[in-house]
Chain A
Amino acid sequence: MNKQSYIEIIGQFYEGAVFIYGTTLLIIYAILAMLSLSAIQKFYKQDKHIDYKLLLTSKLTPGISVIAPAFNEALTIIENVHSLLNLNYPKYEVIIINDGSTDDTLDKMIREFDLAEVDFAYNELLKTKPVKRIFRSTNQAYSKLVVVDKENGKAKADASNAGINVSSFDHFLCTDVDSILDRDTLMKLVKPIMEQGRKRVIATGATLRMANSCIIEQGFMQRVVVPRQTLPRFQEVEYIRSFVMGKMGWSVINCVPNVSGGLGLFDKDIAINAGGYDPQSFGEDMELVIRMMTFCINYKIEYAIEYIPVTLCWTEGPSTLKVFGRQRTRWARGLAQLMFSHRKLLFNPSYGRLGLIVMPYNFLFELLAPIIEFLGILYYIYIIFMNQVNWPYAIILLVFVYTYAIMISTLSILWDQLTHHTYKTWREVAILCITAFFEMLVYHPLIVFYAIKGYYNFLANRKHTWGNMQRQGFGGPRPVIQPT
């Protein structure tokens, strides 16, 4: 056989493999769409009759520790802490971890909340950078507040671990101090835990959305608006698809791979036994969830991770390409790191769904997808040069993939609309639907590019520089914060 034949054989094999790969992915999306629809309908059918206010007065309400790390948040910290202290829940504490801020974040909190340093018996269940001081408020109105001042750990994970060490209750909610939470967040997230039967609910999550362009007053959401800027708008569609369709679908078969770092309620006992957040990880939220699942399986604890189709948290998405690229490169690197460090779980039947569904899906269709796509583009260019493209067929296939992708995004938007009207006007929904048409052409190539860059950084073990993430803030002046 000559060189040409080898290339042809490789080409045919690649085409066949990609066909099977692509078909499987499309089938998975279709299944997820159906599963998520059933889960959403079931949730809302039951939710109609739920009186969440029962939690407000009952002695049986479980306590929750809200953990929010802060680094150089001086411009918005006061408003953010006030909003965390005003959640609708009777039994909770707010733990703010000042992660070695170099601005006056801590001083502002001390003044605003009448903080006094206390002799706090700190139990270092999870290893962190040294905790310098712990403060409590002398003002009864802020008795829920605990402020931990620690050395900078260069990762949100380290600060979150310090928060877990200080927490008093059996469940903790991890969030970002600059995220906007719905007032009923704790009531809604604790319910799946209170409904646990045979299986122990080790984590619950809810939908996140972009806070960009939304109307926010005193730290609370007043009106949800579709982001006006292009990049956050693409992210809005992506988040709807990921949370409303993806995570809701996976939760039906108890295969949720990740509870977002922006909002998640966790079983403290399991989280600590699993080793807490990994400060070395670039995707510490998913890493923790995978380790919690692994721990449960190792110790024969029947577990469940639940998602609810309600938007409870809004976060400011990157609006510039530079910041967006840095975020996505880090996420991709985190995924590669996670897959490498947990490679023993992959296709391992001893780990049940984790080993046979969660890990393989994330390996094949999250980690490998950008690589396969990138190789596909190179192959396409090659066969174009070799004049081997059957253009009518190629166009038919491209149109098919394009229309299918739009269908999936549109269905996600529909599922989201089925249950509640997040957006006030139909025009906003129309804008989202139109965005879906451009997502594959504009946004998706960016995702692929930054993913490949992240994998390269992981393989080359390049040092990650956190840099400064310019955020717009919500109505106030522009704070400069470092992503943790």
Chain B
Amino acid sequence: MLATMLADSLFGPFFRKYFYYYDSYPVVIQIAIFLTGVAIVTTVLAYSSILFRRGRGYLVEVRTKKINTFLDNLITDHIIFNEDVMNGVPLADVQIESAPFKKPVFKQKWVRQALISRLMYFTSSFSGDRNVLFRRLFLELELEKLSFKKIKSFFLSTKIVGLVELTTMGVAVADVIILPLTNSRNRKLRSEARIAYIKLSKNDPFKFFDDATEPLLLWDQLELYKIITTTEGLNIPNFARWITYSPNKSIISFCLKLVIHYNQHEAIPAIIRLLDNKDHYLRVDAINALGKLKAEEVEDRLVSIYNHQPTRCQIEILKSLGRFSSGNQVNFLRNEFLRSTDFDLKKNAARSLINHGRETKEVVQLLLETASPENAIILKHCMNPLIKY
């Protein structure tokens, strides 16, 4: 009905003028004529859009290529091959000639934006002294003002761009600006804000761990892990704090990974408490962390809870016993290998026994001699250096 009314008001006069019988057509035919018109117009618009976009894309490409060459030359001459740096002048005393960067061409916004992009590119490609100079140039040219303006934008995608620029260039941002964004409903903004907060916050870079209500997705963890483990001068806290108190499971899981990375043995008591957690995925992570931290003191506890755990946790316990290789649980591993009916449990028990090395060489040899064909092949699989997993 609506389509007919719309068709009538928009195209009615046209059709009445040129198609005398239009009004006498059945509604279905009138709609068909209207939609045919829509289809033709849309198709023509689509062609125009393809042409326009390709044309514009080509022009932008040419323009960008040209300006990037110009900017790269400037940056290379004045920063990368800066005379003072080459002559070993202390960084604080290095002079950057900023006049070439203040030529009239830089008054154009797109050129300034291109300069930001190139500085970000060089900052990611270089390290050390040069990065300090890139940052200094960024600030001297007041390019950070553009980035801050973006953070204040209404559009989330523009906010993200601003945050990425400031994070890459290492420009400090007030906590009050970033902190609310670390819990944004927009996943990408939230993720970039968290990265920015860790990298740029002067006070407590891990503060957002306390208030994070949204989950830290695996991809977010990947990004944060990189930032945390590569940012120089970051004060690494004891992650046991969040392992104990955080209500956010993903934060706990992430902290366990950081505990492993920083080998924080002081977090072991907090991790042991996680063994009573109802979430078995968290228990898997906790057992994994204990194994990688070689927390041998917990092996009796792991063996005692073994039978009450789901398979995932049992596999992780077997792996941990292999990582400890203390020799105290050889009988348990041997029995589990012989007794278990689950293929993965058998395999992991065997692998952990073999991981003990010389200590269990005789046990493994004896098992091999007396094993059923199925068990023998599992043992051979685990002993074969060509097979990783």
Which A residues lie at the B interface, using CB under 8 A?
A: 19, 26, 45-46, 49, 51, 54-55, 57-62, 93, 116, 118-121, 123, 136-138, 143, 168-169, 191, 193-197, 393, 396-397, 399-400, 403-404, 406-407, 410-411, 413-414, 417-418, 421, 426, 429, 433
Residues of B within 8 Å of A399, CB to CB, are: 36
CA–CA, A426 to B57, complex, Å?
12
A-B contact pairs, 7 of them (CB 8 A): A49-B192, A93-B389, A118-B384, A168-B388, A197-B217, A407-B40, A407-B46
Roughly how many angstroms separate A49 CA and B281 CA in the complex, as a whole number?
Answer: 30
- Annotate B42-68 by CB proximity to A: 1 below 8 A, 0 otherwise: 110011011101100100000000000
A136: which of B53, B380, B386 is its contact (CB, 8 Å)?
B386
Are A418 and B53 in contact (CB-based, < 8 A)? yes
- Once the chains bind, are B39 and A407 in contact (CB under 8 Å)? yes
Q: Are B50 and A60 in contact (CB under 8 A)?
A: no
Closest A residue to B41 by CB, please name it.
Answer: A407
Query: Which of B29, B46, B51 has the most chain A CB within a 10 Å cutoff?
Result: B46
CB neighbours of A54 from chain B (8 A): 222-223, 226
Q: Which of B358-389 contact A (CB under 8 A)?
A: 377-378, 380-382, 384, 386-389
Instruction: Give the number of A-B contacts (CB < 8 Å).
Output: 128
Q: Verify if B187 is at the interface (C-beta below 8 Å from A).
A: yes
Closest to B217 in A: A195
- B226 and A123 within 8 A (CB): no
CB of A120 within 8 A of CB of B387, answer: yes
CB of A476 to closest CB in B, whole Å: 30
The answer, among B47, B51, B217, B257, for a CB contact under 8 Å with A194, is B217
Query: Looking at the complex, which one of B28, B219, B221 makes contact with A191 (CB distance below 8 Å)?
Result: B219
Chain A residues, CB < 8 A from B261: 59
Residues on the B chain within 8 Å of A421, using CB:
54, 57
Complex Cα–Cα for A196 and B387 (A): 31
B294 at the interface (CB under 8 A from A): no
Q: In the complex, A421 Cα to B50 Cα: how many Å?
A: 10
Interchain CB contact under 8 A, A60 and B54? no
**Residue from B36, B157, B223, B343 having most chain A Cβ neighbours under 10 A:** B36
Q: Which residue of A lies closest to B346 (CB)?
A: A121
Distance, CA A51 to CA B387, complexed state (A): 32
User: Across the interface, which residues of A come within 8 angstroms of B221, CB to CB?
Assistant: 60
Contact flag A121-B222 (CB < 8 Å), given A195-B187, A397-B32: no
Q: Does B160 contact A (CB under 8 A)?
A: yes
Contact A136 B225 (CB under 8 A): no
Contacts A49-B192, A197-B217, A429-B54; is A121 near B347 (CB within 8 Å)?
A: yes
User: Which of A62, A196, A404, A418 interacts with B39 by CB under 8 Å?
Assistant: A404
Interfacial residues, chain B to chain A (CB-CB below 8 A): 25-26, 28-29, 32-33, 35-36, 39-40, 42-43, 46-47, 49-51, 53-54, 57, 157, 160-161, 164, 187-188, 192, 215, 217-219, 221-223, 225-226, 257, 261, 343-344, 347, 377-378, 380-382, 384, 386-389
B222 touches A60 (CB 8 A): yes
B219 engages A400 (CB within 8 Å): no
Which residues of B have CB within 8 Å of A195?
187, 217-219
| Cβ contact of B54, chosen from A19, A93, A169, A426, cutoff 8 A | A426
Given A60-B221, A397-B32, A403-B36, answer yes or no on A118-B386 (Cβ-Cβ < 8 Å).
yes
Q: Tell me the complex Cα distance, A418–B57, Å.
A: 10
Residues of A within 8 A of B192 (CB): 49
A123 and B386: CB pair below 8 A? no
Q: Which of A119, A411, A429 contacts B381 (CB 8 A)?
A: A119
Partner of A417, one of B40, B54, B386: B54
Residues of B within 8 A of A51 (CB): 223
Instruction: Verify A406–B39 contact, CB threshold 8 A.
Output: yes
By a CB distance below 8 angstroms, the chain B residues around A406 are: 39, 43
> B290: shortest Cβ distance to chain A, in Å?
17
Given contacts A49-B160, A194-B217, contact A404 B381 (CB under 8 A): no
What residues of chain B lie closer than 8 Å to A62, measured between beta carbons? Answer: 218
Residue from A119, A123, A411 within 8 A of B384 (CB atoms): A119
Task: Report the minimal beta-carbon distance from A185 to chain B, rounded to whole angstroms.
Answer: 17
Q: Which residue of A lies closest to B227 (CB)?
A: A54
Contact A118 B54 (CB under 8 A): no
Contacts of B226 in A (CB 8 A): 54, 57-58
Closest-CB distance, A21 to chain B (whole angstroms)? 14
Q: How far is the CA of A153 from the CA of B90 in the complex (A)?
A: 71
State in angstroms the CA–CA spacing of A404 and B344 once bound together: 55
Known: A120-B387, A137-B386, A191-B219. A400 touches B32 (CB 8 A): yes
Q: Contacts A400-B33, A426-B54 hold; do A19 and B28 have CB atoms under 8 A apart?
A: yes
Cβ–Cβ contact A138 & B386, under 8 A? yes
Contacts of A410 in B (CB 8 A): 42-43, 46-47
Please, which residues of chain A bring their CB within 8 A of the CB of B257? 59-60
| Given known contacts A168-B388, A413-B50, A59 and B225 CB-to-CB distance under 8 angstroms | yes
Shortest C-beta distance, B362 to chain A (Å), equals 21
The chain B residue with its CB closest to the CB of A421 is B57
